[in-house]
Amino acid sequence: VMRRFIVAGGQLGPISRNETKASAIKRMSELMKQAAERGARLIVFPELALTTFFPRWWSDNKAAFDAMFETKMPNNDVLPLFQLSEELEIAFHLGYAELTPEGRRFNTAILTNCKGRIVGKYRKIHLPGHSDEQSWRPFQHLEKYYFEKGDLGFPVFDMHNWKLGMCICNDRRWPETWRVLGLKGAELVVLGYNTPLHYPPAPEHDHLQYFHNELSVQAGCYQNGLWSVAVAKAGYEESCELIGGSIIVGPTGEIIARAQGSHDQVISSEIDLDRCREIRENIFNFDEHRQPNEYSLLAKE
């Protein structure tokens, strides 16, 4: 059973508002081919990878952006990626906007196995930004307006004898996300993000955006003894600069691969899931050292 294998991150450059989903899928297919050439068994694509980051615009009518959402998965637009996954025997993670049959909207990601079959699904829980129009901002961040809080918890999926966890973007900043995934035995956490370089409420933090991205993922990996692949949609997208900095991080908290620049590109590394034990049997041995009786405050409203 393969516990050592190559993982890849498929960073995307900007997606314009008028770019088609078919075009985005074509770009991801190219990255998937490159990853397969490197021997990767899994490639991670970003949050909202099929469209521009549309929550940067206000509309009185949410349905004005319904074309940005997927009502089923797979669908005709994304089918080529699923077919390529099966052909190349490479699993993938894909973030997208989901519109359910009941009319609910989520910021969602799916995970397939190496046969292009969906094995996992996650809906973003820590939605950042605001739910009202704030016209003072140079761009809006309306995830709380366009999406509901995820309702699937933080699930961990068994696939190919790997234990995979999922989260999305802002979730990575919250230690509780990583701890719940770690407690559930995740050995590899995959996530995508669309993170603006400029943060209007606290612009004095703008120069820290890349640092905070790495800090969050490195801490999550080290404190829970797991691997992570964190992948950006990056670059100057519709008047908003998004950070790149996609990374692969080991259970020691070390960065072992990092994207350069903010264009479409593949990062990859061999990982060994058995190395999770180095942390989990020692300094962060949960059974030996955790003191959950002292943490009750964490679960209070």
Number of neighbouring beta carbons within 10 Å of residue 3 = 14
* Residue 2 pLDDT > 90: no
Residue 301: its pLDDT value, please?
Answer: 85
3-state secondary structure of 215: helix
Q: What is the pLDDT of residues 88-127, one digit of tens each?
A: 999 999 999 999 999 999 999 999 999 999 999 999 999 9
Burial per residue of 23-52, b for 16 or more beta-carbon CB atoms within 10 angstroms, e otherwise: ebbebbbebbebbbeeebbbbbbbbbbbbb
Q: Determine contact, residues 95/107, Cβ cutoff 8 Å.
A: yes
Q: Determine contact, residues 162/273, Cβ cutoff 8 Å.
A: yes
Q: Residue 78 and residue 71: Cα distance in Å, rounded?
A: 12
Q: What is the pLDDT of residues 130-159, one digit of tens each?
A: 999 999 999 999 999 999 999 999 999 999
Q: Could you tell me which residues come within 8 angstroms of residue 277 by beta carbon, excluding any fewer than 6 positions away?
A: 225
Q: What is the pLDDT of residues 40-66, one digit of tens each?
A: 999 999 999 999 999 999 999 999 999
Q: What is the pLDDT of residues 269-294, one digit of tens each?
A: 999 999 999 999 999 999 999 999 99
Q: Is 240 in the active site?
A: no
Q: What is the pLDDT of residues 214-227, one digit of tens each?
A: 999 999 999 999 99
Q: Is 114 in the active site?
A: no
Q: Are strands 247-249 and 227-232 parallel, antiparallel or unpaired?
A: antiparallel
Residue 1: its pLDDT value, please?
Answer: 60
Exactly one of 47, 70, 143, 187 is catalytic; name it: 47
Eight-class DSSP state of 150: P
Q: What is the pLDDT of residues 158-213, one digit of tens each?
A: 998 999 999 999 999 999 999 999 999 999 999 999 999 999 999 999 999 999 99
Q: Which residue has the tokens 């393969």?
A: 2
Q: Is 300 in the active site?
A: no
Q: Where are the alpha helices (DSSP H) in the chain?
A: 21-37, 79-88, 143-146, 175-183, 209-224, 276-280, 286-289
Q: Which helix (H) or strand (E) holds 240?
A: strand 240-242
Exactly one of 124, 187, 233, 237 is catalytic; name it: 124
Exactly one of 21, 163, 169, 276 is catalytic; name it: 169
Q: Residue 113 and residue 41: Cα distance in Å, rounded?
A: 9
